[in-house]
């Protein structure tokens, strides 16, 4: 998903160099992606709050070092170290254990990303609407948080998506514009088919 015109900017995780256990940190990572990289690097899409799992490996993302529990803050280093090492304790993040995420939650997360990708091409009103709905997802999931999706830790967002996957998706789909509602239902039904989403985005462009 692109962030053309910064349409998805409200979904960017906040810049923090420290965070409580249930609060988000700026950086997320997939250990398997870092391990597969010739030169390990962080992906731009990992900075979005709507991403809590890796679409390539089907595992949950991480936002902390599993060894010392420090938030990942590659921008706040006392000395220059490779990105795949924890800046606090030196743990190799490529060796972090795989985090499990229910398949239903991964499908929902992928569908939400696809909806955002398509609607970012429809104009600011549609994009603003879907972004607002996604940010309010914790309230819909009823996980006891008063914050928005971007304020939750990665583990809390995984739990949020798992709870949402078991609920009605009217909170995301319903819209006063019948065409928008229908498009969202089609994307949800497609379940993350890249070819379909690409055709939608192409048509809207």
| pLDDT tens per residue, range 31-69 | 999 999 999 999 999 999 999 999 999 999 999 999 998
b/e code 114-147 from CB counts within 10 Å (16+ = b):
bbbbbbbbbeeebbebbbebbbebbbbbebebee
Token pair of 191, please? 């379940």
pTM for this entry? 0.84
Q: How far apart are CA 75 and CA 125, in angstroms?
A: 34
Q: How far apart are the C-alpha atoms of 70 and 205, rounded to whole Å? A: 42
Is pLDDT at 19 greater than 70 in this prediction?
Answer: no
pLDDT (0 to 100) of residue 3: 44
Task: State the DSSP code for 99.
Answer: B
| pLDDT confidence of residue 1 | 43
Structure tokens at 149: 């999706």
| Contact predicate 24/13, CB 8 Å | yes
pLDDT over 90, % of the chain? 43
């Amino acid at each position: 998903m692109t962030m053309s015109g910064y349409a998805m900017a409200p979904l960017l995780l906040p810049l923090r160099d420290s965070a409580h256990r249930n609060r988000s940190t700026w950086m997320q990572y997939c250990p398997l992606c870092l391990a597969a990289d010739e030169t390990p690097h962080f992906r731009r899409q990992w900075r979005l709050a709507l991403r809590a799992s890796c679409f390539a490996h089907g595992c949950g993302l991480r936002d902390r070092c599993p060894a010392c529990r420090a938030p990942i803050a590659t921008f706040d280093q006392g000395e220059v170290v490779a990105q795949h090492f924890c800046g606090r304790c030196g743990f190799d993040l490529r060796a972090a254990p795989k985090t499990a995420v229910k398949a239903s939650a991964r499908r929902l997360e992928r569908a939400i990303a696809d909806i955002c990708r398509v609607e970012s091409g429809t104009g600011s009103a549609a994009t603003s609407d879907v972004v607002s709905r996604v940010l309010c997802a914790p309230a819909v999931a009823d996980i006891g948080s008063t914050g928005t999706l971007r304020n939750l830790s990665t583990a809390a967002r995984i739990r949020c998506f798992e709870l949402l996957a078991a609920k009605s998706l009217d909170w995301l789909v319903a819209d006063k514009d019948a065409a928008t509602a229908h498009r969202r239902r089609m994307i949800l039904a497609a379940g993350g088919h890249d070819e379909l989403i690409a055709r939608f985005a192409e048509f809207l462009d």
